[in-house]
């Protein structure tokens, strides 16, 4: 059949199982948007308030569903506004296809109106980029883009299409999409070597990252922990890969990880690293990290092996496949003495906060209680992000969505919209600091336009909390440009953008506010006013060994 380029784009999206697109129209992409108008019964298009919001929404949709997220933008500033969202997805290995359109082919390279080389701009922050200048190559390029985005270590792909290609016609042949088959790069001997190391271990510890969620290996991780009686810690990106209420779970590791996880990894004799990349925020001082342990790393990306931490054994491949093969040969182990030592640490060093006043940890605990740990939580970046990671008990994968690698303030509101579109039956909540909320609060207009029932909780302390914490602890309390005491009323902003607004200032108001928001049937903003000098503890100073973790009680002493 003969179709024009815009029709081919939508046919290819349909082939790939895409039903939801986030974007913003403009001159060069008008042919595609005109075609979307004709197919509005097949595609849900969410018009965001800004292209960055579209990229974050596609990201949130992808993280929460496991599907490829799709966003669209026009040329020039439309495409460059996607850049932060693309970089966020790249750093956290999120499958996304960003479709942009450029000026007509004869106008390329002539500084034409709204012309920009978006592939050149995004080359360092994508798995791959394409520019389509021939309509006959359009369908195959789009199919290839989706394959690249979802295969191996996932990531974002940009497909830039000149406007004349979206109008040109050619023969289109439908394609059957099948799951690509990958060949295992590891051997039976590799598996047996790791099994032997586990059998010799007296103090094993399992360290779980985002790769466990991407590969769908959460059940295998849980079976591994039970089989060998090993405690389990996770990274920010690994939240939910292991049940946060399980007795083997010790909490997050790293800069704001629990003392038990940080001390435990420092004392273990074998560290099994499942889909994690040894981020600087996790390992602290690399020379002192788990220095008494044999380190095993399972990762799909060979480039991550020995990049930050030297391993004693490693297996490159899909984590779910690796653990499935390992469990076939792994014999049960008992480490009662080690687990008893871990339990003693948990009793001695529990997470704690000031219960006499309204705090973010209290809000997270109430939210966990009311939702029974079943909500999808997105966050922005800062203190509230760490509190959300520490105090909500994530039982399942794809329920905690946060910008881990790039640390993108303003990520969460777009992401929670995307998550809700992909999971309409789930309660979806974004936790934001007041500084982060200002960056993309215009996306409340998106939520109200479509009456998307998301909940936005602003942890309102009138400061850039995490930066202030560092200024307080390490910069002599010189609070340079981190104070937000101005005249912005977030409830009025929310109401002005079409959302219901609730302000809470004390603990007794929290439960009722959360229940009202959950039952509202539309977007709700809760402005939670807390004190400006609440701090996230525990904490490891940047670049220091994990054993130097401290909390408020250590400072008092």
Q: Which residues are designated catalytic?
A: 51, 113-114, 163, 466
SS3 of 58-106: HHHHHHHHCCCEEEEECCCHHHHCCHHHHHHHHHCCCCEEEEEEECCHH
For residue 267, count CB atoms less than 10 angstroms from its CB and return exposed for 0-12, middle for 13-18, buried for 19 or more: middle
Return d(Cα 26, Cα 33) in angstroms, integer: 9
Comparing CA positions, the residue from 526, 497, 525 lying closest to residue 509 is: 526
**CB of 125 closer than 8 Å to CB of 96:** no
Residue 420 backbone dihedrals phi, psi, to 5 degrees: -70, -35
Return d(Cα 41, Cα 325) in angstroms, integer: 44
Comparing CA positions, the residue from 283, 320, 281 lying closest to residue 298 is: 320
**CB of 422 closer than 8 Å to CB of 64:** yes
DSSP alpha helix (H) spans, 452-500:
465-474, 490-496
What is the DSSP secondary-structure string of 6-57? HHHHHHHHHHTT--EEEE---GGGHHHHHHHHHTTTT-EEEE-SSHHHHHHH
Comparing CA positions, the residue from 334, 301, 120, 139 lying closest to residue 227 is: 334
Residues contacting 265, CB < 8 A, separation 6+ = 205, 207, 233, 253, 271, 289, 290, 293, 546
On the question of a cis peptide bond just before residue 245, with omega within 30 degrees of 0, the verdict is no
**CB of 307 closer than 8 Å to CB of 278:** yes
Order of strands, sheet of 44-47, starting from the edge strand that comes earlier in the sequence: 44-47, 20-23, 69-73, 96-102, 156-162, 128-132
Return d(Cα 358, Cα 295) in angstroms, integer: 42
Rounded to a whole number of angstroms, the distance between the first and last alpha carbons of the chain is 77
Return d(Cα 148, Cα 131) in angstroms, integer: 15
Return d(Cα 364, Cα 361) in angstroms, integer: 5
Return d(Cα 318, Cα 421) in angstroms, integer: 28
Residue 164 backbone dihedrals phi, psi, to 5 degrees: -65, -25
3-state SS class at 210: helix
**CB of 232 closer than 8 Å to CB of 225:** yes
Q: How many residues does the chain have?
A: 557
At residue 373's C-alpha, the angle toward residues 372 and 377, to 5°, is: 135
For residue 28, count CB atoms less than 10 angstroms from its CB and return exposed for 0-12, middle for 13-18, buried for 19 or more: buried
**CB of 375 closer than 8 Å to CB of 453:** no
């Amino acid at each position: 059949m003969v179709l024009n380029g815009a029709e081919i784009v939508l046919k290819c999206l349909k082939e790939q199982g895409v039903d939801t697109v986030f974007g913003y129209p403009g001159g060069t992409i008008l042919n595609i948007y005109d075609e979307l108008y004709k197919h509005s019964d097949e595609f849900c298009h969410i018009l965001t308030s800004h292209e960055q919001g579209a990229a974050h929404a596609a990201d949130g949709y992808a993280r929460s569903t496991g599907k490829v997220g799709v966003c669209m933008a026009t040329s020039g500033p439309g495409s460059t506004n996607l850049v932060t969202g693309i970089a966020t997805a790249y750093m956290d290995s999120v499958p996304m296809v960003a479709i942009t359109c450029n000026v007509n082919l004869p106008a390329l390279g002539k500084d034409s109106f709204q012309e920009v080389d978006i592939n050149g701009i995004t080359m360092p922050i994508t798995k791959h980029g394409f520019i389509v200048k021939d309509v006959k190559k359009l369908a195959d390029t789009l199919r290839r883009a989706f394959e690249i985005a979802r295969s191996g270590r996932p990531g974002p792909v940009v497909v830039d299409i000149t406007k004349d290609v979206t109008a040109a016609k050619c023969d289109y042949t439908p394609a059957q999409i099948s799951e690509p088959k990958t060949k295992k790069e590891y051997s039976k001997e590799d598996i047996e070597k790791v099994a032997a190391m586990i059998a010799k271990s007296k103090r094993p510890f399992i360290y779980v990252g985002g790769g466990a969620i991407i590969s769908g290996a959460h059940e295998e991780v849980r079976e591994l922990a039970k089989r060998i009686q090993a405690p389990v810690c996770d990274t920010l990106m690994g939240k939910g890969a292991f049940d946060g209420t399980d007795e083997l779970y010790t909490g997050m590791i790293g800069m704001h990880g629990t003392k038990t996880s940080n001390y435990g990894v420092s004392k273990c004799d074998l560290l099994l690293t499942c889909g994690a990349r040894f981020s600087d925020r996790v390992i602290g001082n690399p020379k002192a990290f788990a220095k008494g342990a044999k380190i095993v790393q399972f990762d799909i990306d060979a480039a991550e092996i020995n990049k930050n931490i030297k391993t004693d054994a490693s297996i490159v491949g899909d984590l779910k496949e690796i653990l499935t093969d390992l469990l076939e040969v792994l014999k049960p182990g008992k480490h009662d003495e080690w687990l008893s030592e871990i339990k003693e640490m948990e009793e001695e060093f529990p997470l704690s906060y000031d219960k006499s006043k309204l705090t973010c940890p209290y809000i997270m605990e109430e939210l966990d209680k009311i939702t029974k740990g079943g909500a999808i939580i997105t966050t922005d970046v800062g203190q509230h992000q760490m509190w959300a990671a520490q105090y909500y008990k994530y039982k399942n994968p794809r329920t905690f969505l946060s910008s881990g690698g790039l640390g993108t303030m303003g990520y969460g509101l777009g992401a929670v919209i995307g998550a809700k579109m992909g999971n309409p039956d789930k309660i979806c909540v974004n936790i934001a600091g007041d500084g982060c909320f200002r960056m993309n609060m215009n996306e409340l207009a998106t939520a109200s336009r479509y009456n998307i029932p998301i909940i936005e909780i602003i942890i309102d302390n009138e400061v850039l909390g995490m930066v202030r914490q560092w200024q307080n602890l390490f910069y002599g309390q010189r609070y340079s440009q981190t104070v937000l005491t101005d005249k912005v009323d977030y409830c009025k902003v929310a109401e002005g953008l079409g959302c219901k607004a609730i302000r809470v200032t004390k603990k007794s108001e929290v439960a009722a506010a959360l229940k009202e928001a959950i039952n509202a049937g539309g977007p709700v903003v809760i402005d939670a006013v807390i004190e400006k000098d609440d701090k996230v503890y525990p904490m490891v100073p940047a670049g220091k060994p994990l054993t130097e973790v401290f909390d408020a009680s250590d400072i008092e002493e």
